[in-house]
Structure formats: C-alpha cells, structure tokens
Amino acid sequence: MKHFLSIADLTPEQFRGLLTLAIKLKEEQKSGSGRPLLKGKTLGMVFQKPSLRTRVSFEMGMIQLGGQALYLSPFEIQLGKRESVADVSRVLSRYVDGIMARVFGHADIVTLAEYAGVPVINGLSDYNHPCQGAADFLTIVENKGQDLKGRKLVFVGDGNNVVTSLLFGATLLGMDFTITGPRGYEMPPGVWALGQKFAAQSGSHIAATTDVHAAVEGADVIYADVWASMGQEEEAAERARIFEPYQVNEALLAEAKDDVIAMHCLPAHRGQEITDGVCDGPHSVLWDQAENRMHAQKAILVELMADESQ
Ligand code: CP
Ligand code: NVA
C-alpha cells in the first residue's frame, strides 16, 4: 500500500490485514503497551473543510505512535488557490513523512498523491471517506465477529461519500449491503458497478431500494449519515423535506434484527436523519465508532509510514 485513497484500491486480504492490525494496536493502547512505531515521524494534515473526529483522531494517533501531526487549516494552504495542488504536494513532501488531506473534489487528493514523495491519506472527499469506512468495519467486526458472510448492512439516506466506502468495505468482506433512499439520490453508477464487481468476487449480495421498511428487514447494522453533506448546505432545506421518510428512529430499528447495531459517522443532526432515542439507546455504537477512527487510522499510518511492517 503506497497511499490510502479508497477502500476499493485494496484487496480483501489487505483490508482484513488492516483491521487485524487496528485490533492489535487498540489492544496494545488499552493495556498500556503501545509502541512508538512512528517515532520521529510527522504527518501534515491539510483541511479544506471543518472536522472534529478526523483532526483529533489523526493527531492523537500520531502522538500515541511517538510522532507528531501538523494541522493546516482551510485558510492556510488554500489548495489550488494560493498555489497549485501539485506544487503543494511537492513542497509538503519535503517537510513531512506523510500527508492526510480532507478535500472537496476527489481529483485534488488524487493529484496530491500523484506528486507526493510521501504517502497520502484521504481524510474525506466528495467521492468517499475511506478512514471512516475502516473504522466502521472495525466496529462491525467487534460487534458481529470476523465472518460477515450473510450479515446485512443497511444504509439509510443519501448515496454519498460515506456510503461509498461502506459499499466497498462490505463487498470486499463478503457482507450483504442495501442502500435505501429517495429517487434521485442514489449512489453514482460507477461506484455501484465497482460494488457489484467486488460482490461477485466475495459472494455478497447488494441491493438498492426506495422502500425503507423492506430494506431494514433482517438488518444486522443500520447506518445513517447527514442528508446534506459539507458543500451541499444550500440544498439542506429541500433535502430535509425529501429525506423525511428516511429517518432512523426507534420504530425503524424495531423492524430490524433484535440485536441490530445503529451507526452514524457523526456529526449527527439529531431529530433529522437520526433521533436522540437511537443515538443514546441500547443499539447505538456511535461512540465506539468515533473512538475507532483513531485505532483504524493508526493501522493505516503504521502500514504506510512505519520503517518495519507490523
Ligand atoms: N466522521 C467524521 O469524519 O467527522 P469529522 O467531520 O468531525 O472529522
Ligand atoms: N457525508 C458527510 C460526512 C461527514 C463526516 C459530509 O461529507 O459532510
């Protein structure tokens, strides 16, 4: 693995290996035996959008691994405005050992990787959110076990960046996947085609439907995300109306398996795509999921930046 731009770039074995390493690093940290695997290394963190989890979990992850992280705010580098993305990448690569970037257009993260002399990690683009996906499957494995064959993940909402990474992760690992949302907000055809290819290889089943009730039947995992992503703020009111039937609430959870887990990448708009009752209820794994960002990303950082493989 040279960069980490999409879960779709990984083989099933690489993805499983990453999750296994994340579990190991999490156990080590919890038992106080964490190792400084990135001693003296630095990560440059470029943000075009706001963040709580991505910023803090990467920074703390680097600290725990014995390294350091530099936060570069949207006002500083101004990717592509103050200077070209390629030049930013060339220059940053001379100072740091790795680059993590959160961008609007996915093409910018691809350009960063193309011109970088160091590994580049995608901290969310308009196309996907692979670090979130890695943390989510760590959380799913913790709750449902390593063998996800026959298990069903249902995403309720917009065919956005977060669900793109969930589709890739599920189909690589052989987990069944359903997305349900209103017509006109489906996943991009190219993303779906990749999911179909991986599903055929792993033996998982994927489906898309506007019928939210049919979708959640037999679900092991129900996943929600905001209806309007960062950059779509002006569509928020219209989307709130269109997506209203797709709220993840306690009544919807009751239609799934008894031991269904409720997930959300956060930040949540409580009362819109998810209710307080779900966020704070017995099925919620939201806070483990947020914590797992750090453990999953430590595995990604070690995989890309450590001098020796772990
Ligand atoms: N889930 C997630 O990426 O959160 P932030 O936007 O706060 O980083
Ligand atoms: N889909 C959301 C995820 C935020 C972590 C967004 O892009 O704003």
Task: Spell out the domains of the chain, with CATH numbers in brackets.
Answer: 7-129+291-305 (3.40.50.1370), 132-290 (3.40.50.1370)
| Sequence-separated (6 or more) residues with CB below 8 Å from residue 271 | none
Residue 266 Cβ < 6 Å to ligand 1: yes
Given a cut of 90, whether residue 7 has pLDDT beyond it is: yes
Cis peptide before 119 (omega within 30 of 0): no
* 111, two tokens: 């350009």
| pLDDT tens, residue by residue, 104-131 | 999 999 999 999 999 999 999 999 999 9
Asked whether residue 308 carries a pLDDT value surpassing 90, the answer given is no
Of 124, 138, 230, the residue with max ligand 1 atoms within 8 A of its CB, to mutate for a pocket test, comes to 124
pLDDT tens, residue by residue, 269-300? 999 999 999 999 999 999 999 999 999 999 99
Question: Which residue in this structure is represented by tokens 């708009």?
Answer: 269
The per-residue pLDDT for 178 is 99
Residues 133, 135, 141, 144, CA torsion sign: negative
* Residue that has been written with the tokens 């350009």 in this structure: 111
The residue whose C-alpha atom lies closest to atom 2 belonging to ligand 1 is 53
Alpha carbons 221 and 257: distance in angstroms, whole number: 9
Q: How far is the CA of 275 from the centre of ligand 2 (A)?
A: 18
How far, in Å, from the CA of 59 to the mean position of ligand 2? 19
CA of 113 to the centre of ligand 2 (A): 22
Q: Which ligand approaches the C-alpha of residue 128 most closely? A: 2
pLDDT at 309 over 90: no
Return the ligand 1 atom nearest residue 102 CA: 8
